[in-house]
Amino acid sequence: MGFEHDMMVRGEYGNLESNPITDEVKATREAISQTVDFTDSRLAKITRLRLVTDPGFPMYDVSYCYGELKSGEPVRVQLPRYQFSRRNLKGQLIDMARESGVYAKGLGLLNPETISISA
């Protein structure tokens, strides 16, 4: 199953979304006090990657990426890429991680519940 699938729901503003923004996501956003690089050795996992696009547009733009340090602290994660192809999202995420010397699956970057799409 791909990242865009039958689990898309109509969002607050009429857009289609997977893994919509919840009160928990809002609380995480408010708790973040620092930004770390995708390659930071303190990064334990990616908790949310928000991607946005327009219907028919072939690319996703990164809205934000949240993660958690090994200490449990929530952080914003600075990714080396800001745009991904809708046709090969998973492959491009793996390539980005490989180029950065990071293990995408180990960080949870490929988990469907981590990816949030707004189209």
Give yes or no for residue 1 having a pLDDT over 90: no
pLDDT bracket for residue 18 (50, 70, 90)? confident
What are 104's two structure tokens? 């995408």
Whole-number pLDDT of residue 25 = 83
Burial classification of residue 52, based on how many CB atoms lie within 10 Å of its CB (0-12 exposed, 13-18 middle, 19 or more buried): middle
User: What number is the average pLDDT over the span 8-19?
Assistant: 68
What are 48's two structure tokens? 């949310």
Q: What is the largest CA-CA distance in the chain?
A: 41
pLDDT tens track for 23-66: 888 888 898 999 999 999 999 999 999 999 988 899 999 999 99
SS3 for 93? helix
SS3 for 46? strand
User: What number is the average pLDDT over the span 73-93?
Assistant: 96
Nearest to 109 by CA among 69, 50, 49, 63: 49
